[in-house]
Amino acid sequence: MPRLISYKGSVEVPGVVGDFPALMDPQTWAEKHPQIWPHSFLIKGNAFPTDRDGVPAPDGKPLAGKGFRGLFFEQVRMGLVVYNNVLEMKFVVSNGVNPSVAFEYNQHECLTTEDVDGTRFDGGIDVDNGMATCSRSGVDLVTITATKNVRFTEPEALLGLPFVEDVYELAVNIGLDYLLHLMLFE
């Protein structure tokens, strides 16, 4: 049985919460990081895709940095494997006395996985959830925290190899640390 991979990272940096809504908005992942996310958007009409192999229609041009809730499509490239996921996504921007930015997501369904030789599988990830928050931690200081839990189930032929889950775990940890740094130094 594949193992659950968990990540938690946190960093305190100079800045104000108002600097981060557009940087943390999941709708901008494909625009800012296409090497990882060829596609990332709210699904038109909040409707579950009927074509497992296609890319669903986006829900118009995103208003980056504005809150939303709904079904969210992401196509994620992890090394030589591509996952097509539908997530239940919530992105919240709170202003006022205690401003914050946060998103949280839970997997609705992994549609397909494509491996290095182009073979497609139904499914591929059976657990994918997490969150990220940005909140004030001092005068002109913010703390950004991110968590992720994921378990890969395809391509099954790779999962029996002793090193593959270690490689996935390393990729998840390095990838999320990399994204935290990109967000901070963009």
* pLDDT tens per residue across span 38-89: 999 999 888 888 778 778 888 887 677 789 999 999 998 877 788 899 999 9
Token readout for 63 is 């208003």
Burial class (CB in 10 A: 0-12, 13-18, 19+), 93: buried
Residue 136 pLDDT level (bands cut at 50, 70, 90):
very high
Integer CA distances (angstroms), 168 to 4, 6, 107, 112, in order: 10, 11, 18, 17
How many domains are there within the chain?
1
Instruction: Output the domain CATH number for residue 173.
Output: 3.30.530.20
Question: What are 158-176's pLDDT values in tens digits?
Answer: 555 555 666 666 666 666 6
- In contact, 121 and 115? CB cutoff 8 Å: yes
Structural domain boundaries enclosing 145 = 5-185
Q: Count, in order, helices (H) and strands (E) of the chain.
A: 4, 8
